[in-house]
Structure 1
Amino acid sequence: MTPGNNGPGTPEDDDPFGYLYADGQARGAQPPSGGYGYPNSVSRVRTVGERQYGQQQPTAPYGQVPPQQGAYGRPNPHYAAPETLPGGGAPTAPQQPAGRGGSGRGRGPNTKGLLIGAVAVVAAVVIGIGVAMMNGSDDDKKDDTQAGPTPTQSQETGSPTPSASSSGDAEVELPKIDAKALRLAGGTTLASDVKGAQADGGVYVTGFNQVGATVTWTVNDIKEAGTYRLYVHYGIPGVDANATLSVNGTPNSSPLNMKNFGGTPVGDWEKGWQETWANVNLTEGTNTIELSCQQGNQCNANLDQLWLTPKDGA
């Protein structure tokens, strides 16, 4: 056999796939039949664009090649590219899945968010350290102040400093008088026969049960003009009594009530000691307070002590 084209049957025609090419078809190459000569074999060679997926392939009797659905050189519509169809456009590049954030390109981890979080943590730690250092500095200053070598005045003397409330109490302290310091008139006199009087030595004023009987108290050093409360300690024999109260020569509109508030037995002078009070208006400086037995009064009482308090009775 010499080189060259010696017609059909030459080695060039032995190519089993020659029928697939135009020059092979020009030389008369034919597709093989019967599955390349093997019984019951299936032909696996298909013309490009021939196979249709999803459809049943036609069968042929044993030893015969099934009919081809498309001729060589004719495109199969099932495999036609979109651009070859009417209205088809140019092929487009495959679309990549969109990443997070709506971008057409996929993205990796959100490193920007991680970086912001790390910076926030570091800032919080730095702020915490700064606050701790400032608090420590303040504590050191306080310790230095408390540990100072110079003691305060209260530490030196060992006694507390007087408070403002104590001085205020001293300012509102008001006068008090016993019976023997009163100025007596109108038949009044001093006695100490009935026990229970609170005045010094148990002395009290008696003889007050007659019209014109009077006791007078001159009050000095009133710091501020205003209304005060006058208290009177008295004794009765279980029977209500009263008297006329005058301040700086002016009688009060109502008498001083010396009622039997304790309900003591009638005739028992020792158990009849009680106290009463009335509001009086005083001026700054010196004032005169007078108790007297006038017409219409029931004056059968012994007088023991008189004292003043603020209007609220404290």
Structure 2
Amino acid sequence: MLQRGIERPEEAAILARRILDVVNAPYRLAHHGVTLGLTIGIALAPGDGSSCDRLLKSADMALDRAKSEARGAFRFFEPEMDARIQARRLLEQDLREALVAEAFELNYQPIYDLASDRICGFEALLRWNHPARGRVSPAEFIPVAEEIGLIVPLGEWVLRRACAEASRWPDGIKVAVNVSAVQFTSASLVTAVRDALRGSGLPGRRLELEITESVLVANPGATTAILHSLKGLGVRVSMDDFGTGYSSLSYLRSFPFDKIKIDQSFVRDLGAPNGTDFIVRAVIGLGDSLGMTTTAEGVETEEQLATLRAEGCDEVQGYLFSRPVPVEDVPAVIRRWNGAIHRAIA
């Protein structure tokens, strides 16, 4: 839509609001009530562009901003939007190049078994050290990889690398790998897991796949079928960040997970006034009743560890034991906790 003869941006805003009000008004269609939604991006000439092509691009960037912030509203183009788009495109390009060059690496954080007072496994965590950007946070590049379709090949690379590296660890040490919701919906996931196990020689019982509750929401039937296929490979499956999402107990009933992971946000407030002790106690009790292992994340103090041990938690992980380490440091971490001094904080 082209609006001419305006003197102030507020006039464009007034028109946008009128359009939204008219289009959003419900109406009848074949005896049914129908409501349309509309989101608008606005660009102003000549400041946002002096050509048709440039104005359309500016309006499109404003539209993207409106969709991400408040659907059913309108947004004006702002110069920093263009800079943000350019930065996003560069990040996408760097991600593609890094995947081809296998420029990622895995760090490993130990998982400590409280019954045996030994390290029983490690969680694989993806890291990207860009030559110019430096350390890029997974919180920054994982969502981009999901949006542009790179998360599936990237996730398969993580599976292959984690299994290959874990195959060189002592037989009793497992490896846990996170699987994103986008990756989980891929038809190739079961094949990728099977190939990673065969290629590395790692027994399925030593691989643990961590999924979040959001994976189970979109298509519970298909998800359950995939989970059973994974179990058929001998792989263990855990529900990550339990209690922070939908937390439907029907998920635990429809599929027997091997493990529930207690999110670090609950562990952080253990022992605090009006803290989360009762939540942690309930989750541990639920896991015990269902025959599932419970693992607490984010353990940083001996007080937290003592509480979790007293409540009957099975496994813990966190900075109290070790930060994530490169694969070459894994043997030293195992020697530290599974050797003569491993009971120092028991």
Which has more helix, going by share of residues? 2
State the TM bucket, normalised to the shorter chain.
under 0.3
Which of these two proteins has the greater Rg computed from alpha carbons?
1
Q: TM-score, normalised by structure 2?
A: 0.18
Relative contact order, higher structure (CA 8 A, sep 6+): 1
